Amino acid sequence: MPRTLSQEDIAEFREQACAAASRLFAERGTDGVTMRALAEVMGISPMKPYHYFRDKEEILATSVMRAFNRFVSAVEEAEKEPGSALERAYAKRRAYVAFALAEPDSYRIMFEMPYPDLNKYPELAEAVERCRWTMRRSMDALIAEGLVEGNPSTLGYVFWCSLHGPVSLYLAGKLDSEAQLETLLDLGIKGLLAGLAPAQA
């Protein structure tokens, strides 16, 4: 008689399946993530994933949602560090880069996979929105301290882009070294501060 699965068993399998799906996506793209391929890399029967997920789309959506939540938790933790708005922005940058380098498969699936209909996956929509607000809060703080001016929502995306661009280039093997990555990140923040500084009266 099959053993009744506990909630811990179910959560553990779903976590393992999401990790495997993220690896497959990084290696083969969306089309390469199939239930059969997932079963092969996990060493299970092709039907087993269907006991835990409705279909491939749900596995991918869950993988992205979990990656975003881990990512944002790491960045939010850095946000708690004491210091000025600029010092906290640098702390968030360090956490951003550390996550991307430690979990490149997760980072890729977060930003490279076309999202499904977010109305079907409210937890994914919430995770993405949580990330957007995390980026925006850095700009809210910099504006409050008089270091930059502008629409905080738009500037949140500018800050995000200044991190995402260099990190994506590095993960794609387009930069020479991690030192070059750090140089580009430094220039990005310095350029952002210079370009968005309040006009002098």
pLDDT score recorded for residue 133: 96
Exposed, middle or buried, 87 (CB in 10 Å: 0-12/13-18/19+)?
exposed
CA-CA distances (angstroms) from residue 61 to 7, 78, 145? 20, 26, 38
Residue pointed to by tokens 């800050």: 159
pLDDT score recorded for residue 194: 94
Q: How many Å is the maximal CA-CA distance in the chain?
A: 79
Name the architecture of domain 7-196.
Orthogonal Bundle (1.10)
Q: pLDDT tens string for the chain (201 positions)?
A: 456 778 887 889 899 999 999 999 999 988 889 889 999 999 999 888 888 888 999 999 999 999 999 999 999 999 998 899 999 999 999 999 999 999 999 999 999 999 889 999 999 999 999 999 999 999 999 999 999 999 999 999 999 999 999 999 999 999 999 999 999 999 999 999 999 999 775
> Who contacts 41 (Cβ-Cβ below 8 Å, separation ≥6)?
20, 23, 24
First to last CA, the chain: 79
pLDDT score recorded for residue 134: 94
Question: Rounded distance, CA 38 to CA 48, Å?
Answer: 10
Helices assigned H by DSSP within the chain:
7-28, 35-42, 56-79, 85-102, 104-112, 122-144, 152-171, 178-196
pLDDT score recorded for residue 3: 63
Question: Rounded distance, CA 27 to CA 21, Å?
Answer: 10
Domain parsing of the chain, residue ranges: 7-196
